[in-house]
Every structure is written in C-alpha cells, then in structure tokens.
C-alpha cells in the first residue's frame, strides 16, 4: 500500500465511523473537511472503497433516500450505494488511531491524523504532536543551514522565497507548542470531532493543513449515478 492510499483509507474509515455515506457525500466531506484531499478524484476514491469492502471493513448497502428510490426507473440509473463501517472496520480504524510512527509526522498524514484528534486518546495526541514538532525543528535547522551556505549566491526573489518557507515552518512550530501546552494542561480544543480542528487552524500557518498556493477545490461535476 502506498503512503497516499494509506492516508485515504484512514480518512475514509474515520468519516464513515461518524455515519454511513454514499460516494459523492464522502468525497464532499473529504474535500471540505480535509484539505489534503482537495485534488483527488473519483478514480482514486472508488478503488479505495472497493478495497475496504474486500477487506471486510466496509459493507455496501442500497440508498434509501427519496431520490434513490426514483433513480432506478429513470433512464436505467442506479440508486446510490451507501457505505457503512463494519465492526471489524471500526476496530481497524481504532488500531490506526493508536499508531504514532514516523508516517504520522509527515505533512499529509499529519493533517489527516489531526482532523481526527477528537477521536484520539490524549497520550497518542501528545506523541504525534511532539513527533511532528521534532520533525519540523529538524527541517528548520536544515533550511537555516542551507540558507547560510547559499545566501550570497541567491537573487533577492529566491532569497525571499526561502525566508517565506522558513517562516511557515516557524509558525507551525509555534502552533504545535501551543497545542502541546494545552494537551499537557488537560485542555481539549472545542469543535466537531473530525474536520473542525483542521479547519480552525487554516490561519495558523501549518503547512500540513493550509491549502498550498494554487490549490483549489475540485471542480469536476459528479455523476449522480456514481455509487
């Protein structure tokens, strides 16, 4: 399993833990609640869903909304399929939530993990936050060393870009320090269990949560017959 597909499976299981959804609704939640998935497509989501079903972590059920009931007679359209988390899927997601290995500190994976901190135990949250901070401090040290070596060879615009990158990392380190302090003091962030914290920090400067320059939500129009 690639790192990217692993993050997507984690996020899908986390969202379906809240409630069953059909594919279009699930994709909307991934887009709006988890900015890291803004650019992904149905061509990525549905193979992931099929894999989760094959593993026994999800089951497929026919939709039961009035729109679904009318869909079949119209031009051969199929009703939407609703995906529901199984007991095994819930257990697997809880196992994933408890993991605190190096992947949890990387930009994309950290953003997804943070979005589900409301469902994560405090000790795991602390380990992930401290691991992320350590990873960024290492990155910042390397950036400063590189800038010191190459400063004289850089033009003003490239130098400014380097400084901007360093400032972004410094802001996230400060943000992580505040979160770690809150966790140690026993204070929880308020907001929805998933998506809320990540959205709340869209002004924090956290690279793993902020949309990158040029990022825009997907503009493709879904087919209502998609499962």
What per-residue confidence (pLDDT) applies to 56? Answer: 97
What per-residue confidence (pLDDT) applies to 151? Answer: 87
Closest to 132 measured CA to CA, from 190, 207, 68, 80: 207
Inter-CA distances, 83 with 26, 39, 57, 66, 89, Å: 9, 22, 10, 18, 11
**196-226: pLDDT as tens digits:** 334 333 333 333 333 333 343 334 444 444 4
Ramachandran region, residue 214 (left: φ > 0; alpha: ψ -120 to 50; beta: rest): left
Helices (H), the chain: 3-18, 23-33, 42-54, 66-71, 87-97, 107-115, 122-150, 156-184, 196-200
Q: Which residues pair with 146 in a beta bridge?
A: none
- pTM, two decimal places: 0.71
Distance of CA 40 to the CA centre of its chain: 12
What per-residue confidence (pLDDT) applies to 29? Answer: 87
User: How do the pLDDT tens digits run along the chain, 227 residues long?
Assistant: 456 678 889 999 999 999 999 998 998 888 877 766 666 666 788 899 999 999 999 999 987 655 544 444 444 555 689 999 999 999 999 999 999 988 899 888 898 899 999 999 999 999 999 999 999 999 999 999 999 999 888 899 999 999 999 999 999 999 999 999 999 988 766 544 433 334 333 333 333 333 333 343 334 444 444 44
- Asked if 28 and 212 count as a contact pair (C-beta separation under 8 A), the reply is no
Query: How many angstroms separate the CA atoms of 50 and 47, rounded?
Result: 5
What per-residue confidence (pLDDT) applies to 220? Answer: 43
Query: How many angstroms separate the CA atoms of 131 and 103, rounded?
Result: 10
- Asked if 79 and 63 count as a contact pair (C-beta separation under 8 A), the reply is yes
């Amino acid at each position: 399993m690639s790192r990217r597909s692993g993050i997507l499976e984690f996020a899908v299981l986390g969202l379906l833990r809240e409630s069953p959804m059909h594919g279009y609704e699930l994709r909307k939640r991934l887009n709006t609640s988890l900015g890291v998935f803004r650019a992904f497509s149905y061509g990525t989501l549905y193979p992931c869903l099929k894999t989760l079903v094959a593993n026994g972590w999800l089951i497929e059920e026919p939709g039961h909304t009035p729109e679904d009931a009318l869909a079949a007679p119209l031009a051969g359209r199929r009703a939407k399929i609703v995906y529901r988390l199984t007991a095994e899927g819930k257990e697997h997601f809880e196992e994933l939530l408890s993991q605190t290995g190096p992947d949890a500190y990387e930009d994309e994976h950290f953003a997804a993990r943070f979005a589900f901190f409301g469902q994560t135990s405090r000790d795991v949250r602390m380990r992930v936050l401290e691991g992320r901070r350590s990873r960024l401090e290492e990155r910042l040290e390397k950036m400063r060393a590189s800038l010191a070596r190459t400063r004289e060879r850089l033009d003003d615009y490239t130098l400014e870009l380097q400084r901007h990158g360093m400032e972004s990392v410094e802001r996230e380190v400060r943000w992580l320090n505040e979160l770690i302090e809150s966790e140690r003091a026993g204070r929880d962030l308020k907001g929805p269990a998933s998506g809320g914290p990540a959205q709340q920090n869209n002004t924090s400067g956290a690279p793993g949560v902020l949309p990158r320059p040029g990022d825009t939500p997907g503009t493709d129009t879904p087919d209502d017959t998609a499962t």
